Amino acid sequence: MTFDKIMTELKNKVFHPIYFLTGDEPFYIDQVSDYIEKNALPETEKSFNQVVIYGNDVDAAAVINTAKRYPMMSKYQVVIVKEAQNIKNIDDLVYYVESPLKSTILVINHKYKKLDKRKKLFLSLSKNAVVLESNKLYESKIPEWITNYLAQKGIKIPPAAAAMLTEFLGNDLGRIVNELDKLMLTLPPNEKTINAVHIEKNIGISKDYNNFELQNALIERNALKANRIINYFDKNQKNNPITLTITSLYFFFSKVFMYHGLDAKDRNNVAAALKISPFFVSDYQKAARSYPAGKVKNIISWLREYDLKSKGMGNVSATPGDLLKELIFKIIHS
């Protein structure tokens, strides 16, 4: 079942006997589990009918015994199992899953680890439980996710600002939501758009000196702008590590190389093939005009070379700033 469908049912007070929440993206798992913990029972019923247990502290038999209790003066009892991936003999839960109590809402939080789908427990969960598989999003999907999250709250964000946040925050949805919620709190009254200025002021990402702007400078082959940015990086290495810059450029030029190989270069096909927002297709079109396929191939090779140098391989004394200056000079002028 999808996250949205589960949340819709929960908000309509439709509960199922078992929720099995699994995957390497904890955000959706926590959202479902926390909602049930806060809202399934009235406050007056929680002390007798709601329990939270941890996988490190129990085995499967203890979970089953807890789930088989009947509620006291309530329609339901709620049993929330956190860190369920650490339960001893977890496969034995199948004995409860095959015949769960309708008066128990059992929530199993199974993070960062997958059950063997060939085993009886998973097959039984698939038949008798609400199963949510919460997987990490690719970074290419994060700007759109940010846009949709804010839109649900009546807030807009320009695509470039969403990309800027993604560059800085990665694909950790919990961290992203924390920062977005902070940004919304700091918006002036009646302001309904988060822009680069808000991000710079409240999160600390420079709107002018970041990997996204470096990428734009390279697209334009603007050596002056590119050097200003890498000089800023050199002076602020803690917030702008060279490994992150090289990784960012590697992914960008890898997609430029893919663009050169496309037969159909219309906007929609490029966006689908490169897994990017249609808003950014023009950036790849410009980059392809600035850097022919052969040059892009060389750039990717240099990025690998300087990644190794940044880690001390074949480099005795060059600083991260020196390495970046050499790399950017090669990209623009070689």
Structurally, at CATH architecture level, domain 3-133 sits in 3-Layer(aba) Sandwich (3.40)
Provide the token pair at 241: 């590590």
CATH 1.10.8.60 placement within the chain: 139-203
Q: Identify the pLDDT of residue 152.
A: 93
Residue 294: pLDDT above 80? yes
Q: Identify the pLDDT of residue 309.
A: 93
Say how many CA atoms lie within 13 Å of 122 toward its Cβ.
10
Domain 139-203 is found in CATH 3.20.20.80: no
Please tell me the distance from the alpha carbon of residue 150 to that of residue 152, in angstroms, as a whole number: 5
Stretch 67-95: mean pLDDT: 95
- Taking the chain, what is the end-to-end CA distance rounded to the nearest angstrom? 52
Mean residue pLDDT across the chain:
93
Please tell me the distance from the alpha carbon of residue 150 to that of residue 133, in angstroms, as a whole number: 23
Percent of the chain with pLDDT over 70: 100
Residue 124: pLDDT above 90? yes
Q: Identify the pLDDT of residue 189.
A: 87
Q: Identify the pLDDT of residue 169.
A: 87
Q: Identify the pLDDT of residue 317.
A: 84
Please tell me the distance from the alpha carbon of residue 21 to that of residue 109, in angstroms, as a whole number: 5
Confidence of residue 277 (pLDDT cuts 50, 70, 90): confident
Q: Identify the pLDDT of residue 279.
A: 87
CATH topology of domain 222-333: Zinc Finger, Delta Prime; domain 3 (1.20.272)
pLDDT 10s digits, 6-49: 999 999 999 999 999 999 999 999 999 999 999 999 999 999 99
Judge whether 125 and 18 are in contact, CB under 8 Å: yes
pLDDT 10s digits, 201-255: 888 788 888 999 999 999 999 999 999 999 999 998 888 899 999 999 999 999 9
CATH 1.20.272 placement within the chain: 222-333
Residue 57: pLDDT above 80? yes
